[in-house]
Amino acid sequence: MDFTLTEEQQLIQDTAKRFAESELAPVAAELDQTKDKSILLANCQQLAELGFMGLNISADHGGTEAGAVAFSLAITEIARACASTAVTMSVTNMVAEVIQAMGTEEQKSKYLPLICSGEYRAGSFCLTEAGAGSDPASMRTQAVKTDQGYEISGTKQWITSAEFAGVFVVWAVTDPQAKKGKGISCFLVEAGSDGITVGPAEKKMGQHGSATNEVHFDRVLVPESAILGELNDGFRLAVAELAGGRIGIGSLALGVGLAAMDYAITYTKERKQFGKAIADFQGLQWMIADRSTELEAARLLLLNAADRKQRGLTFAKEASMAKLFASEKANQACYSALQLLGGYGYMQEYPLERYARDVRITSIYEGTSEIQRLIIAREILAEHQ
C-alpha cells in the first residue's frame, strides 16, 4: 500500500503548515485568553482565501476540489497551531460537503460559493439538542407544513460558529407519526431569518476561541425549496455526514497531540536534571516512544478513512475507528507531554495546559468515544453475518 502523498496533497499540507506557523500560532494564546472573535474571523477569512473552506468542494462551485485526504492533512496542520480555528474550519467544510452531496443545483450554486469564498464567515450544523445528543433521532425540533413552506420551531445546542454563520443546516421532525428516525428532514436556513435567536457563547473548558452557542427557532418560515435532500430522509443524511465529520475531528485531535509532543520533546532535550538532559532518562524516552507510536497509528487510521471516502467506498467503520483512536491517544499525548514538563506544564505561560484543555472535547463531540465503539461493533458484527 502506497501512502505517498500526491503533489497536490503535499502542497496543501505544506501550505497549511506554513500558514499555521506564521499566522495562527502567534495569536493562538491570545485568542484562547481573550476569546476575541475578531481574531478567529480574520483567521477564517485567510483560510477561505487559501481555499481551505471548501477543500472537498467542486471547483465549479468555488471549491478547491482537493479531496478528503487533503482535508484531513490540512485540519491536522491547522490544529497544531490553533484548535479553535481548526474546528471552525472543519465544521464549515462539513456544511459545504452536505450541501454538495444532497443539494439541488440551485442550492449548490447559491450557498457553496458564499461558503468557499468566506463571504459567509462560517456554516453551522444544527443537529444536537439538549435531550438528543448521542441519540439525535430523539430530537424535538419540528417543521410544520404551511401554505408558504415550513415553520421550524425548537432549540439546538452546542452549535459551532452559530453567532457568525451565514447558513444553518437544520434537522427537524416533519412527520411526528413516523417511526423514530424516519420522519426527520433537513433544511437550509439562512442566518438572520425572522425567529432565529442565537444565545450567548458557552463558557467552555477549552477551545475558547471557537464560538459555541444555543440556537432557538421560533416559527422560522422557510420555503419548500429549503429542504436539503428528500423529505423525511434527513436522519440518514445526518448519519452519513457525521462519518465525514469524524475524520475532521480525528485529524484535529491528531494535530493537537502532535503539537503537544513536539513541544515536550524539545523541552526534554533542553531541560537538565542530575547533570544531564532529561531526554536521556529511559522512563521519559519510553513515554515519548509510546505516545509517538500511537499518534503515528492514528495518522494512518485517518488517512485510510479519508482515502476510502475519497474513493467512494464505505468508510463509516473506518472513520469511527480513526476518530476513537486519534481522540483517545491525543488526549493521552497531551497529558504525557504536560507530565514531561513537570510543574511548568501546569503554567499558563506554556502551551501544554491549553493543549490539554483543547483536546479533551475531541473524545466527546462528533460522537463520544462510547458511541464510536457502538458503531464499530455494529459494523463488525454485521460483516460476520
Active site residues: 366
Q: How far apart are CA 201 and CA 199, in angstroms?
A: 7
Is 323 within 8 Å of 249 (Cβ atoms)?
yes
Residue 247 contacts by C-beta under 8 Å, 6 or more apart in sequence?
68, 71, 72, 302, 305, 306, 309, 315, 319, 322, 323
Longest distance between any two alpha carbons in the chain, whole Å: 80
What 3-state DSSP class applies to 273? Answer: strand
- Phi first, then psi, for residue 101 (nearest 5°) are -70, -40
Q: Is 163 in contact with 211 (CB distance < 8 Å)?
A: yes
**Could you please report the per-residue DSSP string of 318-379?**
HHHHHHHHHHHHHHHHHHHHHHHHGGGGGSTTSTHHHHHHHHHGGGTTTS-HHHHHHHHHHH
Can you spell out the DSSP letters for 185-222? EEEEEETT-TTEEEPPPP--SS-TTS-EEEEEEEEEEE
d(CA 76, CA 247): 10
The phi, psi pair for 187, rounded to 5°, reads -130, 150
The CA distance from 328 to 333, in Å, is: 9
Q: What is the DSSP letter of 23?
A: I
8 Å CB contact between 213 and 289: no
